[in-house]
Amino acid sequence: MICPQCKAEYRPGFTHASDCDVALKRSGSGERHGKKPPVIRSNGFQRAWRGQERLWKIYWVYLILGSVIVMIGSTIVVPLLFPLVGRMATVAAVAPLLYWAWVTICMCRCASNCNWRGWGNIAVAQMVLTWVGIFLNVIAALLHVPPIVKPPIEGP
């Protein structure tokens, strides 16, 4: 695949150039013989999973907005619809982690789809640090480690 504007080459599966956002054209023998490439229809979730989505969409739409929606759903909607007992409590706790794992994988795959490569490095570093923090909090909760910052002592 090649961009007709900037002439950059891309792996098969990409549909738009990451720098100029122009539709890619097939390079090679297919164009010379008049064969048209098959149209691959996919939604944003599939493009994100394959690493074909723009990084800003992954970050702002899927990570930020999606996390707000998932957190509202798991902390407000699920408890209102189902009392937090048994399996539903587990779903409310695990759903955000599964969603964040999916977003992390998509962000790593789409990290190069931005104008400045540094944004991809920053986004991946942020996700790694987030997962380290989650892991440390889970370990601390399992070991019953008291918090580092103690609550203020109120007067008499």
Domain ranges of the chain: 1-41, 44-143
CA 101 to CA 106: how far, in whole Å? 9
The pTM is what? 0.61
CA 109 to CA 75: how far, in whole Å? 29
pLDDT in tens, 12-27: 778 888 777 788 887 7
Would you say residue 115 has pLDDT above 70?
yes
Split at pLDDT 50, 70, 90, the class of 39 is low
Extract long-range pairs of 26-35: CB within 8 Å, 24+ residues apart. 26/1, 26/2, 27/1, 27/2
Which is more confidently placed, 134 or 103? 103
State mean pLDDT over 35-62. Answer: 85
